[in-house]
Amino acid sequence: MTKTNKKNIIAIAGPTASGKTALAVEIAKIFDTEIISADSRQIYKEFDIATAKPSKEEMKGIKHHLMDVVEPVEEFTVADFADEASKVIQSLFEHDKIPVVAGGTGLYFRILLENYDMPRVAPDKALREQLHKIEKEKGAQALYQMLCEADPVLAKNMHPNNTVKIIRALEVCKTLGTPMSQAQKKKEPQYNVIWLGLGHLNGEDRQFLYNRTDKRVDVMLEQGLEQEAKNLFEKYGKIRSLEKTIGYQEFIDYFENSITFDECVEKIKQNTRRYAKRQLTWFRQNKDIYWLDIKDKEQMIQEAVQRIKDLL
């Protein structure tokens, strides 16, 4: 990476359970700065255990931004994230701090740090209801097929079951009258980003990560995931944010007697592993990421700090 006159940002990306939060906190302590969460689930208030939202103890006094900022029933788009995160970044720059952006939502990183021009399209309630009806009657595959026809380039890089993103993409395509992939234009990056990645794994190393995701689910259950899911379900019903959050969606099926408790737990673990795999696939596209070995935490921190110092 060539040094430039652009201001620096540290980006820590990777799959769930790879240790992003712990690394971000240590780096923020060492460089006396603050963290911007790039997690599309942790933005929601009350979504705590299922999203692995860090506790006050885990934050170690480091300020975290864009966490607990949206009610579960509220709409929060990628463009909203970029706007709010940009404000925090500018504020930190004004205080001579290097922002640390950490999380696992690839699209957040792309829009904020890779400087893609995201089309700003207001939600179309009527269209969404129509698309949700199609999903309910014909399944997610029907929506995915619609996206393949409307925007094959975007569909190629999107999971067929990610109906939230598929519906949003169809909404943008219809409103603009053009494929969303064509509307997204990459501009010159605003910042000098020091990219760090956790968990670029193969073979035995990948199994190491999957073992960690399974263990994390077990810990979540011990912390009260079932009760948290029940409280949210009773308070809000089957809202989209709940149905599309791993850990809640499976318990909703359990509460409705569609599956047993053991099946629910296994589905959470399976869906978490699949999500981690999709995250890795996304971040591997970024050739600027410097990948760290997650098996030795202390060595990982030392290597990350040295990498940052070398590039500042």
Annotated binding site: 14-21
- Distance of alpha carbon 164 from alpha carbon 168, whole angstroms: 6
Q: Assign 42 to helix, strand or coil.
A: coil
Q: Which residues are annotated as a binding site for substrate?
A: 16-21
- Distance of alpha carbon 102 from alpha carbon 63, whole angstroms: 13
Q: How many helices (H) and strands (E) does the chain have?
A: 15, 8
Q: Concatenated DSSP letters for 149-165?
A: HH-HHHHHTS-TT-HHH
Q: Between the CA of residue 111 and those of 15, 22, 62, 82, 118, what are the distances in Å? A: 18, 24, 25, 7, 7
Q: Which residues are annotated as a binding site for ATP?
A: 14-21
Cross-strand bridge partners of residue 65? 36
